[in-house]
Chains A and B, each alone.
Chain A
Amino acid sequence: MSDKIARALRTALSETLENMAFLEAFPEPEPPQIQGPKLSVSLLVHDPLQGELRLTAPHPLLAEIGEIVYALPASELSDQLLHDLLAEILNTVAGGFLRELLPDDQTFRLGLPEMEGHETGKPDGQWHFRVGSHTISVLAWGETLAAAPC
């Protein structure tokens, strides 16, 4: 199940980043040492799996993607805009991830992305990906969602 989740996440993340900014994601075995500012966003998954997904990315990577999406120089991208960008990445990744995991045409229900997460304890699953020269992390809470122990 752990491999299936990792594959589903990689596929969803790669498709999302490729469509947004022509970037690809590669699995990283170790948690990243993110230097400098980073942003996080969370999303609740309501049905048929239950849990919370949280995506954390370094500010420079988001600025790089933001320059492409918004066609603006990084200096003109506000933190609010970068948070919105990260929220949309997580929303799209979560949808792709569930489509990969669930049977075809299985309905699922997601919450809206939020800057403040609900869970504060140790995650039930965590996956890390290299994107260009940066690393981003996906954390999951909820046994049915993250059926892989850390």
Chain B
Amino acid sequence: MGKKILIVDDSSTMRKIVSRSLRQAGLEVDTVLEAGDGQEALQILKGEKVDLVLSDINMPNMDGLTFLREKSGDAALKGIPVVMISTESGADIINEAKNLGAKGSIKKPFTPEQIQETIGGLL
């Protein structure tokens, strides 16, 4: 059965690129939801059953790390896996994301193969 994925990025371009890469990676995804920031993502997660979140870090309103912090504080949302997709790749930012519950990270630019490799096992 196909999975439901939420893509969180302030750039509509990047949301389209991630969505296209998911299809090219051959993952069994039948629904892709989109959010423009962490706040919008939390709202969607409260109303939809999502299998995986792919989130940017650097976003206006609510950034990716704050989103992770808020999500991990909500018992109903805590278990949903999140993978960060970002230009930021410093060890301290990635470690902070992992400490807040992120299951992995992907650097921009990325290939469909890298998407498959990172999230294939989480679906």
Contacts and interface: CB of A to CB of B under 8 A. Distances in A.
B11 A91 contact: yes
B13 A95 contact: no
The binding surface of chain A is classed by DSSP as helix
Nearest to A106: B90
Contacts, number: 67
B107 interface: yes
Given A69-B20, A92-B108, A110 B12 contact: no
A15 B107 CA distance: 12
A88 B13 contact: yes
B60 interface: yes
B60 A112 contact: yes
B107 A84 contact: no
6 contacts: A15-B109, A16-B108, A19-B17, A84-B12, A88-B13, A110-B88
A105 B89 contact: yes
A91 B88 CA distance: 10
A95 B107 contact: yes
A109 B93 CA distance: 10
Contact of A112 (B58, B110, B111): B58
Interface in B3-45: 10-14, 16-17, 20
B11 A96 contact: no
Contacts of A16: 108-109
A26 interface: no
A20 interface: yes
Interface string B72-91: 00000000000000111111
Contact-size category for B: 20 to 34
B88 A95 contact: yes
A99 B92 CA distance: 14
Contacts of A85: 13
Contacts of B59: 112
A24 B20 CA distance: 20
Given A19-B111, A87-B11, A112-B10, A95 B17 contact: no
Interface string A81-108: 1001101100110111001000001111
A108 B86 CA distance: 12
A69 B88 contact: no
Contact of A88 (B14, B86, B89): B14
A107 B11 contact: no
